Amino acid sequence: MSKGKNSEAVRVVVRCRPFSKKEELSACENILEVDDKLGQITIRNPKAPPDEPMKVFTFDAVYGWTSTQRDVYDEVIRPLVESVLHGFNGTIFAYGQTGTGKTYTMQGVSNDPDKRGVIPNSFQHIFTQISRTQNQKYLVRSSYLEIYQEEIRDLLCKDNNKKLELKESPDFGIYVKTCLLS
């Protein structure tokens, strides 16, 4: 049976950011080609001998430097948030080297509606859906943690310098006690 493109349990999506001003000014060379139809990224090694084949990587979806926050939300995030609203679990995380655009994609620019990222767009999506629903109760819980250099901080806590401890319980597994829980 053929599967729809959003039916995989885990989807890996790559987004390539545009050159920064600094990279433009220093005439950095683009070595990537993004094929969003095939979900492929081709990497050209400028130092490789001419007969060496280029490296091609295939993902569930790829987004190039002209992709917008809306493209990413509508095609990748919206279906997952919809399924969460129907009671399924869902996780979105951004992974990548420093400066590659994780914060831009997840958070974006708050004072420009077109540049808002996954977090504000999914909040808007969830609360719009809740406001339109009648005869149904929702419970929305939120936490915002930073893990940096092996230390965990609760960014919703007034004292966000306080380090949280990693704990383990037979009932919940591994957890941290956030400000809301303590």
Ligand X SMILES: Nc1ncnc2c1ncn2[C@@H]1O[C@H](COP(=O)(O)OP(=O)(O)OP(=O)(O)O)[C@@H](O)[C@H]1O
Binding residue ranges for ATP: 96-103
Q: Is 113 an interacting residue with respect to ligand X (CB under 6 A)?
A: no
Residue carrying structure tokens 């080297």: 97
Q: Does 102 bind ligand X (CB under 6 A)?
A: yes
Note whether 17 binds ligand X by CB under 6 A: yes
State yes or no: residue 91 binds ligand X (CB under 6 A).
no
CB of 17 to ligand X, least distance (A): 3
Rule CB under 6 A: say whether 64 interacts with ligand X.
no
Closest CA to 72 of 31, 129, 114, 32: 114
Could you tell me how many residues make up the chain? 182
CA dist 150 and 29 (Å) reads: 35
| Selected range binding ligand X among 73-81, 91-99, 125-133, 149-157, rule: CB under 6 A | 91-99
Name the one range near ligand X by CB under 6 A: 77-85, 98-106, 121-129, 163-171: 98-106
Structure tokens at 50: 């001419």
CB of 35 to ligand X, least distance (A): 18
103 makes contact with ligand X (CB under 6 A): yes
CA distances from 112 to 35, 104, 115, 117 (A): 28, 12, 5, 10
Q: Which is nearer to ligand X, 7 or 30 (CB)?
A: 30
Q: Does 70 bind ligand X (CB under 6 A)?
A: no
Site for ligand X contains 90 (CB under 6 A): no
Report the residue from 6, 40, 42, 100 that binds ligand X according to the rule CB under 6 A: 100
From CA 163, how far away is CA 145, in angstroms rounded? 10
Strands 32-35 and 40-43: antiparallel
Residues 6+ apart with CB under 8 A from 76: 11, 13, 61
Which residues belong to the annotated binding site? 96-103
What is the bridge-based pairing of β-strands 145-148 and 13-15? unpaired
| Among the listed residues 90, 96, 144, 166, the single contact to ligand X using CB under 6 A | 96
Map residue 147 onto helix, strand or coil. Answer: strand
When asked if residue 19 is in the footprint of ligand X (CB under 6 A), the reply is no
**Site residues (CB under 6 A) for ligand X?**
17-18, 20, 96, 98-104
